[in-house]
Structure 1
Amino acid sequence: MKLTKLSALGAAVLLFMGTACAQKKYDVIIGTYTNTGKSEGIYVYSFNEETGALTYKNKVGNVDNPSYLTVSPDRKFIYAISESGENSSVSAFNYDVATGAMSFINKQPSGGRGPCYVEIDHTGKFVFTANYGSGSLAAVPVLEDGSLGPDLQQIDHTGASMVKPSQKSPRMHSVVMDPENKFLIASNLGTDKIGIYHFDATKKSHPLTPADPEFVSLAPGSGPRHFDFHPNGKFAYSVHELDANITAFTYDNGKLTPVQTITMLPDNFEGKTGAADIHVSPDGKFVYASNRLDLNEIVIYSVDQSTGKLTFVGRQSSMGNHPRNFAIDPTGNFLLVANQNTDDIYVFKRNKETGLLSLTDNKLELGRPVCLKFVAVN
């Protein structure tokens, strides 16, 4: 009898150990602005998936304004844009997932002025940039060693809209690959259009061609900025910087169909606003979006699982100024907010049932944080 109990206990211990060993661990890679002297470049922090605590792991310096990042599917490389006016570029770095160490490989022109977003396709063969200053996007080939090739495809845009000076010219603000790796979705804040490009991963260069239809038009003066897909691949969401609205779409093989536009603003609000980022929770039940200027908050919506439409749930202060970017950890337990102008990152606990956020004791002080990316380390 004792042997049976001990055997059962041993089996339970082994099961627990196996579960613990199988539990995913994550790092957070942070892009920053370096032009104020408060930051040196790109930082890596380990993330405690049980408490939300962040612990310094590594960094790479001598990078000019690496304000947005993307990680290769095999986690061996990091790609970062550098906002440097006419000399703007996109850089490739080796990345050691165990230590968080990074080393520079090479860089190529970003395909325009003032890049503010970078994306990589699901095969890791191309990196895409959104160039706010010139309103262009580019597809940059990734070579076998992770370096960036010179034969980039640059797509320029024309047009303007009603809000000046923000919409005096094209303002490309994000480029997002669809879940099936077939189409690139390009949000142009300056023209109130979301472009759609067919992507051919078999090509060695120039992989993008306009889809049919080539774009979706949003309300004049809306300013589409960031974009995210629902985990089911059937819904998608665009946050508008200028009118602080969110448009919900159904999505089918490169076709976006608007089904709802909903405000991010409180009733009777008359201050300044600048909507910034948007993310769907890993379980697909909630959408979160950030607002800056006079609001500085995260707005929370529930998702109708049959239609994709949103219902307002609540709003949470970002605890700082200018929450340009935020991220939900892959477990869905925490949401991290990067406040650009107060040089801090706050960690919120996420209620998976209600979608609401509660402040934890975890805060990271870091100069000008503007991009947060989770990467699995095991």
Structure 2
Amino acid sequence: MKSLSILTTAVALIACSSPKQEIQVNPNPEPAVTYNFLIGTYTDSLNHGINFLSFSPSENLMTVETVAAGIANPSFVIASKDGKTVYSLEEEAGVKGGKVLTFSRNPADNSLGLLDQDDSMGDHPCHISMSPNEDFVILGNYSGGNLSVFKVSPEGKLDFVQLVQHSGKSVNPDRQEKPHVHSTTFDPEGKRVLVADLGTDKVYVYDFDPSQTQPLTLFAEFPMTPGDGPRHLAFSGDGKEVLVVEEMSAMLDVFSYDNGQLAPKQRLTLLNEGFNGNVGAAEIRVSPDGKNVYVSNRGDANTISVFAKNNAGEYERVQNIASGGLMPRNFNLTLDGKYLLAAHQASNDIVIFERSPENGSLTQTPWKATVHKPVYLHRLD
């Protein structure tokens, strides 16, 4: 059995005593439904950590509470499909990188209990993905420039099985002096993993074979435009396209996807004409109905861009809207596609938008919650 550090006690004690925040909201009446999200954050004290957000429009209520405190920078958090196992990380550096943490979650009261913790095997882990069968978890380690693969035990704990190290650099000496793995994404069939590396300006495609001792094998490398800094990516609703958000150039690149091969189709800017300032494109999401693509942009922009396909089958930008705060690092949509929640690291809040069912455009609502440095939102379906 793996030994757990004093963190176990810290999480248990602090999470139990954490105050619950309630925010009254004033939406139009609608059918009773409650939306639940886990929130990853950057932390500055032992009172900060993983939060749980519940949003009920019909009750005019949004609640936020800390469910696991005493964790250092749990900037990314995901859950199993049944919501009973939660994986987070500590975005830190160390002899063996940061940490990846395994929690059991009680859906009745949303409490988290620490089950296990493992070394991330690379500095500053910043992304977690889970295989469609939930039998493997992959971490992207930003400063380490590598990705680490873990097998999930029947109890939900993780066992390290493989480390894949990238090499190389790109044109920006300050940001691309070495590899910086920013995300790892399984394709819809679960047969391949696509890795966005900001430091090398490439998207790597790996074959994934869970029957092998080392499940990942490099299939191909696809270069982006020099200086782009690929960060996150998403698949279109039909799985035939890969959409890549380029952090450093604030561009959206669209590729066809066929049997692991990427071919460029479109390149679209996130910026309004005449914009002059710093950029930092961050998150990309496809709406649950597959009709729209959403991308956030930080820097001096602080916007969310909305894209949709026209009659010719090409994407076009239909809206650029202020995100409602500062540094929209992450956002997510409710499962029914009615709302988008934008998390702002710099203004310490989460702002809710209503989404148009006709064209996917967004309208900011009065609903807003104060959260310390929220940087990731995981939807609990």
Query: Same-fold call, TM > 0.5?
Result: yes
| Partners of 1:58 and 1:101 within 8 A in 2 | no
Give the whole-Å Cα distance in 1 for the aligned partners of 2:284 and 2:259. 22
Give the whole-Å Cα distance in 2 for the aligned partners of 1:280 and 1:232. 11
For structure 1, which segment, 57-66 or 42-51, has the greater mean C-alpha deviation from structure 2 after superposition? Answer: 42-51
Once the 2 structures are TM-superposed, how far is the Cα of residue 244 of structure 1 from its aligned partner? Answer: 0.7
Show CA shifts across 1:228-262 (max 9, x none): 11121112200000111110111122222211111
Matched residue of 1:371: which SS?
strand
| Partners of 1:45 and 1:58 within 8 A in 2 | no
- Candidates 133, 136, 144, aligned match of 2:154: 144
Assess, with a 3 A threshold, how the Cα gap between structure 1 residues 39 and 312 changes in structure 2: closer, same or farther.
farther
Unaligned runs of 5+ in 1: 1-19
Match in the other structure for 2:228: 222
- Candidates 74, 89, 94, aligned match of 2:104: 94
- Given the alignment of the two structures, is residue 209 of structure 1 paired with residue 217 of structure 2, yes or no? yes
Assess, with a 3 A threshold, how the Cα gap between structure 1 residues 271 and 100 changes in structure 2: closer, same or farther.
same
Give the whole-Å Cα distance in 2 for the aligned partners of 1:368 and 1:65. 10
CA root-mean-square deviation: 1.9
Equivalent residues, number: 349
Assess, with a 3 A threshold, how the Cα gap between structure 1 residues 53 and 334 changes in structure 2: closer, same or farther.
farther
Paired residue type of 1:85? A
- Given the alignment of the two structures, is residue 372 of structure 1 paired with residue 355 of structure 2, yes or no? no
- Candidates 345, 352, 360, aligned match of 1:347: 352
Unaligned runs of 5+ in 2: 1-30
Give the whole-Å Cα distance in 1 for the aligned partners of 2:195 and 2:40. 21
Map residues 84-233 of structure 1 onto 2, 5 A cutoff. Answer: 84-86=92-94, 87-149=97-159, 151-203=160-212, 205-211=213-219, 214-233=220-239
Once the 2 structures are TM-superposed, how far is the Cα of residue 305 of structure 1 from its aligned partner? Answer: 8.0
Give the whole-Å Cα distance in 1 for the aligned partners of 2:110 and 2:67. 8
Match in the other structure for 1:360: 365
- Given the alignment of the two structures, is residue 78 of structure 1 paired with residue 83 of structure 2, yes or no? no
Once the 2 structures are TM-superposed, how far is the Cα of residue 56 of structure 1 from its aligned partner? Answer: 3.1
Paired residue type of 1:220? P
Assess, with a 3 A threshold, how the Cα gap between structure 1 residues 356 and 53 changes in structure 2: closer, same or farther.
farther
Paired residue type of 1:236? V
Match in the other structure for 2:288: 282
| Partners of 1:123 and 1:201 within 8 A in 2 | no
Once the 2 structures are TM-superposed, how far is the Cα of residue 302 of structure 1 from its aligned partner? Answer: 0.8
Paired residue type of 1:47? F
- Candidates 308, 316, 327, aligned match of 1:311: 316
For structure 1, which segment, 138-147 or 250-259, has the greater mean C-alpha deviation from structure 2 after superposition? Answer: 250-259
| Partners of 2:272 and 2:320 within 8 A in 1 | no
Once the 2 structures are TM-superposed, how far is the Cα of residue 220 of structure 1 from its aligned partner? Answer: 0.5
Paired residue type of 1:103? G
Assess, with a 3 A threshold, how the Cα gap between structure 1 residues 50 and 328 changes in structure 2: closer, same or farther.
farther
Give the whole-Å Cα distance in 1 for the aligned partners of 2:348 and 2:111. 23
Matched residue of 2:232: which SS?
strand
Paired residue type of 2:230? P
- Candidates 269, 273, 276, aligned match of 2:275: 269
Match in the other structure for 1:296: 302
Show CA shifts across 1:39-67 (max 9, x none): 61111122326688532365111211100
Once the 2 structures are TM-superposed, how far is the Cα of residue 69 of structure 1 from its aligned partner? Answer: 1.2
Paired residue type of 2:84? K
Match in the other structure for 1:10: none
- Candidates 321, 336, 352, aligned match of 2:341: 336
Give the whole-Å Cα distance in 1 for the aligned partners of 2:60 and 2:243. 27
Paired residue type of 2:329? R
Could you say which structure has the larger radius of gyration?
1
| Partners of 2:46 and 2:69 within 8 A in 1 | no
Once the 2 structures are TM-superposed, how far is the Cα of residue 303 of structure 1 from its aligned partner? Answer: 2.5
Paired residue type of 1:348? F
| Partners of 1:245 and 1:264 within 8 A in 2 | yes
Give the whole-Å Cα distance in 2 for the aligned partners of 1:288 and 1:200. 31
Paired residue type of 2:49? G
Match in the other structure for 1:244: 250
Assess, with a 3 A threshold, how the Cα gap between structure 1 residues 252 and 31 changes in structure 2: closer, same or farther.
same
| Partners of 2:33 and 2:56 within 8 A in 1 | no
Once the 2 structures are TM-superposed, how far is the Cα of residue 101 of structure 1 from its aligned partner? Answer: 1.1
Assess, with a 3 A threshold, how the Cα gap between structure 1 residues 46 and 293 changes in structure 2: closer, same or farther.
same
Matched residue of 1:85: which SS?
coil
Assess, with a 3 A threshold, how the Cα gap between structure 1 residues 228 and 53 changes in structure 2: closer, same or farther.
farther
Q: Please identify runs of 4+ aligned residues in structure 1 that moved more than 6 A.
A: none
In the superposition, the TM-score normalised over structure 2's length comes to: 0.87
Identity %: 36
Once the 2 structures are TM-superposed, how far is the Cα of residue 270 of structure 1 from its aligned partner? Answer: 2.0
Give the whole-Å Cα distance in 2 for the aligned partners of 1:146 and 1:158. 32
Once the 2 structures are TM-superposed, how far is the Cα of residue 144 of structure 1 from its aligned partner? Answer: 0.7
Paired residue type of 1:342? S
